[in-house]
Amino acid sequence: MEQLAWLAQHPDLGAAISHAKSLSDPLARLYETARLAAYRRDFTQTLRLDRLAQQGIELLVGEGEQSVPGFTALRMAVLASHTVDHLLPGIRVAALQRQVGVSVYLAPYGQYRQALLGDDPALKAFAPQVILLALDAMDSPPSFALHASAEEAENAVQARVEELRLLWRQARARYAAQVIQQTLVPATPALFGHFDALVPGSPRALLERLNNEIRRAAREDGVLLMDLAWSAAGGQYGDGLANPVRWHQAKQLVSPIWAPLYGDQLARIAAAVVGRSRKCLVLDLDNTLWGGVVGDDGVDGLYLGQGSATGEAFLAFQQYAAQLARRGVILAVCSKNDMQVAEAAFDHPEMALKRSDIAAFVANWEDKASNLRRIAEQLNIGLDSLVFVDDNPAERDIVRRELPQVAVPELPDDVADYPARVAAAGYFEAIAFTADDSARVQTYRANGERQAALGQATDMAGYLKGLEMVMQARPIGTAELARATQLINKTNQFNLSTRRYSEVQVQQLADTPGAVALSLRLTDKFGDNGLISVVLARPDTTCAADELFIDTWLMSCRVLGRQAEQAALQVLAQHAATAGYSALIGEYRPSERNAMVAEHYPQLGFVNAPNPDASSPATLWRYPLNASSTFNHHIEIRHD
Amino acid sequence: MTETTTVLHELTDLFRDLFDDEGLVLSSDTTADQVEGWDSQMHVMLIVAAEQRFGIKFRTAELESLRNVGQFTQLIESKLSGS
């Protein structure tokens, strides 16, 4: 069985590795290794690539990430109850493919308890960020009779799980490391056969129970899983990752043949830990999401959905993509089509994907590499966050050559096998899942559409007008207090005075007679931007009685360039005028982070006013309130 | 080319790849001690690589008696000729 089948085939990887050996610069060799690691490779080639990168990794880990631009360093300790030396090259090479340089500390064979329970100066000095506990079913098997009761079996399982939890706690307490626990691969043949699971004390029943309890405990304790038992059972390691000859010969649980796949699986988890998982699935349309070419065959002529096996296969791939979207993977479309024709296909009654599932939709006749760049820009994510799925081998080849950062899986001939292939590649490995992940797609979609609209707009005013922005202004009350206070304390850049207040202080300020305390929200046709600005203004002893002092004005950088500050000024001026003031006094207090708003007040038409405290670096600005003031923006203002 | 030289030739290729040493030369009486890096871990790798390259499978017992490259070559030849 071919492993790493999603990686492209190199015409002569062995020769390329030999050639790369002639590079004298360790960094050049590291970059070349990372490039070649993206090709399908067997364990010998993986071993050779690992040697090639060795000095580069040492440099990265030893001298810091600034020495190897674009790469992240990660120190991983491997504590195992079986031989894993032969697996380390696969881990390092697969990590390099993900721009992660892993340095591995290998504890002495079988000494995982000692490493965590005792003082291990070498491990301490290594300071692991991640600790893999690679255990197996042959290690510490519970010893009791086969006819043990269910309760005895359960007690044995719990005792073992408690021991593991103790080790996990130690790993965290001593090294502050993220633990990855490997599940136990069944190693013994069936004893009863199908009846095994009905005998509580049978090796298979015990092991399944133990693995399930390990998974439950890991969920509770914030431990990640290398779920080798699941991968093996799912056939990812063909007819067996464990070869009994290798076990008897060298206590290898995983046969060297499978080292590239094992390393890839672990490297995905490690990459996820350092935030290097992919984020976005970019889909071609014709013959990828449906059978046929919509421009030629028309929407009604497409193979999609019930009624034909081919149509059902395309539907199944769409359903898989839709499920990925629901777990937080961003979806995008990159297709050679006319935009209207491509979008119209989403009206096909059998489509599992809706137009609204697609965060960035690019259909034109330009080359796909340029369009993938556009998609990354629209979504404001890196090219190295993209996975591009296209049935056309020529397109895949061009994108790989033009944009090596984009992952482009090799695909099987039959679309029925697409979901399994994309899943097997493990692009979107996670370390957490929350309700926010499900909502994320909507946020990206809205931002992507704003960016796309900006790209299409011929003039800025037209773009801003087209956004159909509405600002909701509301005096700060109980409902807004928590969010407003949060924004006051976290906003650094667009913050004129950088005064930090507690909820109680904000409430006091808002309740001061003559004060104006505003929370401003902004929505547009793409969605709700949420609370985007807080303005706190109050009478002050340094000002005249008819002047309102702007104590605090901050805005979220999300809405920069949208003229929201003009609209906010209009709201403030209206409130101040209503309260009987005839001028606003603004203050800019420079901080290390707020240089971007140094010209905020003059740009809004404020005039410099002398600061009575001559020693202060702060500048004061005066804005006369009169009915003839005009405000330059395209935002509809609503007062709640 | 006789079968022995063919197998030895392929085996040399395989050794050169695994040890990343393009100048490596094997003879029938080459032993592990004479090749830098040929430790017990590497020995397993060699066996697995040979199984893959020649499409054969060694028995557990056969692996314990290998002393030098000549015996390795003979074992592979006997597997290939089906005896």
Cβ atoms of A278 and A372 within 8 Å: the answer is no
Shortest CA distance to A636 belongs to which of A560, A570, A556, A561?
A570
Cβ atoms of B76 and B41 within 8 Å: the answer is no
- B-interface mutation test, from A2, A21, A42, A44, most B Cβ less than 10 A away: A44
Q: How confident is the model at residue A253 (pLDDT cuts 50, 70, 90)?
A: very high
Q: Which residues contact A189 (CB under 8 A, 6 or more apart)?
A: none
Residue of chain A whose alpha carbon sits nearest to that of B58: A245
Domains recognised in chain B with CATH numbers: 3-80 (1.10.1200.10)
Residue of chain A whose alpha carbon sits nearest to that of B49: A44
pLDDT tens, position by position, A61-101: 888 777 788 899 999 999 999 999 999 999 999 999 999 99
- What distance in Å separates the CA atoms of residue A11 and residue A314, rounded to the nearest whole number? 31
Shortest CA distance to A361 belongs to which of A331, A332, A325, A329?
A332
pLDDT tens, position by position, A577-607: 999 999 999 999 998 778 889 999 999 999 9
Shortest CA distance to A415 belongs to which of A317, A562, A556?
A317
- Is a pLDDT exceeding 60 seen at residue B1? no
State the pairing for strand pair A583-588/A619-624: antiparallel
Gap from B43 CA to chain A (nearest CA, Å): 10
Q: What is the reported pLDDT for A436? A: 67
CA terminus-to-terminus distance, chain B: 21
Extract the tokens encoding A245: 């000859």
Extract the tokens encoding A26: 């360790």
Q: What is the reported pLDDT for A131? A: 96
Q: What is the reported pLDDT for A628? A: 76
Shortest CA distance to A305 belongs to which of A368, A359, A348, A346?
A348
pLDDT tens, position by position, A489-531: 777 889 999 898 877 888 889 999 999 999 999 988 877 778 8
- The predicted complex's ipTM stands at 0.91
Q: What is the reported pLDDT for A440? A: 66
- What distance in Å separates the CA atoms of residue A239 and residue A3, rounded to the nearest whole number? 12
Shortest CA distance to A250 belongs to which of B40, B51, B47, B37?
B40
Residues facing residue A331 across a β-bridge: A281, A358
Domains recognised in chain A with CATH numbers: 71-273 (3.40.50.1110), 280-446 (3.40.50.1000), 467-639 (3.40.630.30)
Q: What is the reported pLDDT for A518? A: 96
- What distance in Å separates the CA atoms of residue A589 and residue A572, rounded to the nearest whole number? 20
Comparison of pLDDT for A187 and A391, the residue scoring more: A391
> By percentage, how much of chain A surpasses pLDDT 90?
70
B14 neighbourhood in chain A, CB within 8 Å: 44
pLDDT tens, position by position, A390-445: 999 999 999 999 999 999 999 999 999 999 999 999 999 998 887 767 776 677 77
Q: What is the 3-state composition of chain A as percent helix, strand, coil, each rounded to the nearest 5?
A: 45, 20, 35
CB pair distance less than 8 Å for A44 and B49:
yes
Residue of chain A whose alpha carbon sits nearest to that of B52: A257
- Is a pLDDT exceeding 90 seen at residue A467? no
Gap from A212 CA to chain B (nearest CA, Å): 33
Cβ atoms of A223 and A181 within 8 Å: the answer is yes
What's at A545, amino acid-wise? A
Q: How confident is the model at residue A291 (pLDDT cuts 50, 70, 90)?
A: very high
B65 in reach of chain A (CB within 8 A): no
Gap from B14 CA to chain A (nearest CA, Å): 9
- What distance in Å separates the CA atoms of residue A615 and residue A623, rounded to the nearest whole number? 23
- What distance in Å separates the CA atoms of residue A484 and residue A504, rounded to the nearest whole number? 12
State the pairing for strand pair A547-555/A527-538: antiparallel
Dihedral angle, C-alpha A372, A375, A377, A379, nearest 10 °: -140
Cβ atoms of A516 and A576 within 8 Å: the answer is yes
User: If you write DSSP's letter for every residue of A65-116 in order, what string do you get?
Assistant: GGGSTT-EEEEEEEEESSB-GGGHHHHHHHHHHTTEEEEEEE--TT-HHHHH
- Is a pLDDT exceeding 70 seen at residue A1? no
Q: What is the reported pLDDT for A67? A: 77
A241 neighbourhood in chain B, CB within 8 Å: none
